[in-house]
Amino acid sequence: MKPLPVPCTLSVIVPVFNERATAGKALDALLAKEIPGVHIEVLVVESNSTDGSREIVLVYRGHPRVKLILEDQPQGKGHAVRAGLAQATGDILLIQDADLEYDLDDYEELLAPIVSGRQTFVLGSRHGRGGWAIRQFSDQPVQAFVLNTAHWTFTLLINLSLGIWLKDPFTMYKVFRRECLDGLTFTCNRFDFDWELLIKLIRKGYRPIEIPVTYRSRSFKEGKKIRILRDPLGWIRAWAVARFGPL
């Protein structure tokens, strides 16, 4: 794989739904981000929030580095990310939530192997700096334990079914060259999109490397949107369809 031309373009897809407390801070930090040799294109996909988040992101309409995509109704994070990917023009694609759980200072390390041509697909692993428990909710320890246990259970399923060894296949920080998506079709709309994207990229032949990143998980009281009882059923379905169905 040849190195990318300099300057190259990074497309950052930012899904926003009911993130009034953090959306403005996240977008300000992202638009202030400068990486030598990399132009950053920001695609904000706002899903008709009910808490005033749309009014916040509308402030960035017309910004030269921002593409604003306004959805008529919320259809899930996966649907929003797919809408952003469809309009991205960058050489490299990256998904960035608007909740400040991840640190933008990790961008340089995540991008370096892709820009240099050494890798096509990188995962920002939340386990590299914090042991086995990536979610530590001081106000909801039981929920944190359930999510951490589920994480390793589903990680084992991914690894065994794909013949790979990953610590954090479900990280939001999935960074890859644009051409990796060629010929792939995506249908998942919620958090199961993480499964579909990862599995189909690996089935297509792209083996990711994992790079440790900084991560501070929100608790459910702070706004985490995963549904403990319902979402795992969608993840299992996404695994089966993406692993054994057509690309």
Domain chopping of the chain, boundaries: 8-244
Q: Which residue has the higher pLDDT, 218 or 197?
A: 197
Average pLDDT over the chain reads: 89
Nearest to 191 by CA among 65, 102, 54, 81: 81
pLDDT of 178 higher than 60: yes
Task: Find the helix or strand (DSSP H, E) in which 14 lies.
Answer: strand 8-16
pLDDT of 223 higher than 60: no
For domain 8-244, give the CATH number: 3.90.550.10
144-160, pLDDT tens digit by residue? Answer: 555 666 677 888 999 99
- Confidence bin at 132 (pLDDT 50/70/90): very low
Distance CA 182, CA 207 (A): 16
Residue type, 43: L
Nearest to 203 by CA among 115, 124, 127, 121: 121
Question: Which pLDDT belongs to residue 228?
Answer: 60
pLDDT of 131 higher than 80: no
